[in-house]
Amino acid sequence: MAIKTFLFDLDGTLIDTNELILQSFLHTFETYFPDRQFTREEILPFNGPTLHESFSSVDPDRAEEMIAEYRKFNHEKHDELVTEFPGVFDTIKTLKEQGYKIGVVTTKIKNTVKMGLKLTKLDQFFDVVVTLDDVKNPKPDPEPVLLALKLLDSTPEEAIMVGDNYQDIVAGQKAGTKTAGVAWSHKGKDFLLEYKPDFMLEKMSDLLDIVIQ
């Protein structure tokens, strides 16, 4: 069946929030663990899971406090550190103009998602945005992907989930969609290939070639 619906992760896929996320974690850990120096390498695994999962793995008793501190810093620095990845705007615009259904499926909360989409002017294109606020079980559970498909009146067989982390690939696979990894993932192309996505995008415009196939 031909692909008619495109679902995208946000951070690390459409917009480059890697430095913002890194700086937000560094700030939070420096605030709560002033005697311990976290390296950038130690923080990388926290980019992908929910904030609750990440901070609970470090200090369950103070996780909610740390999330609040993280979000405060993250919002203050957001517009300074966030950009879109090359080719994203033009590709999403083309998909919209050609009549495809497009949505965002992310583990971020709604307010932060709105900030990123507005800053990059991508907010004008998406038919639906599913955030952490909308589901009980975030990716890699299929719930967010299935919710997006329901809201778009689409089926898994005609959809593709695009993302930069294993949570995106696994959620799409469990939901029954096609999947695509992005080679610009901070995790690395080889890491994503271990999860056997149907496609690997070297650049976002590669999606247009997939549609034409």
Structure confidence by residue, pLDDT tens digits, 58-116: 999 999 999 999 999 999 999 999 999 999 999 999 999 999 999 999 999 999 999 99
Question: What's 11's DSSP letter?
Answer: B
Helices (H) and strands (E) in the chain, counts: 10, 8
- Is the predicted pLDDT of residue 210 greater than 60, yes or no? yes
Give the whole-angstrom CA distance, residue 182 versus residue 14: 10
In this predicted structure, what is the pLDDT of residue 86?
A: 94
pLDDT band of residue 45 (cuts 50, 70, 90) is confident
CATH 1.10.1660.10 fits 18-81, yes or no: no
Q: Is the peptide bond before 140 cis (omega within 30 degrees of 0)?
A: yes
- Is the predicted pLDDT of residue 191 greater than 80, yes or no? yes
Q: Which of 9, 16, 134, 164 is catalytic?
A: 9
pTM of the model: 0.90
User: Which pLDDT tens digit goes with each residue over 111-167?
Assistant: 999 999 999 999 999 999 999 999 999 999 999 999 999 999 999 999 999 999 999
Is the separation of the CB atoms in 95 and 102 below 8 Å?
Answer: yes
Domains of the chain by residue range: 5-16+83-212, 18-81
Q: Is 9 a catalytic residue?
A: yes
The CATH H-level (homologous superfamily) assignment of domain 5-16+83-212 is: HAD superfamily/HAD-like (3.40.50.1000)
Residue 167: how many CB atoms within 10 A of its CB? Answer: 21
Integer CA distances (angstroms), 135 to 56, 107, 110, 139, 178, in order: 19, 9, 11, 10, 21
pLDDT band of residue 23 (cuts 50, 70, 90) is very high
Is the separation of the CB atoms in 122 and 102 below 8 Å?
Answer: no
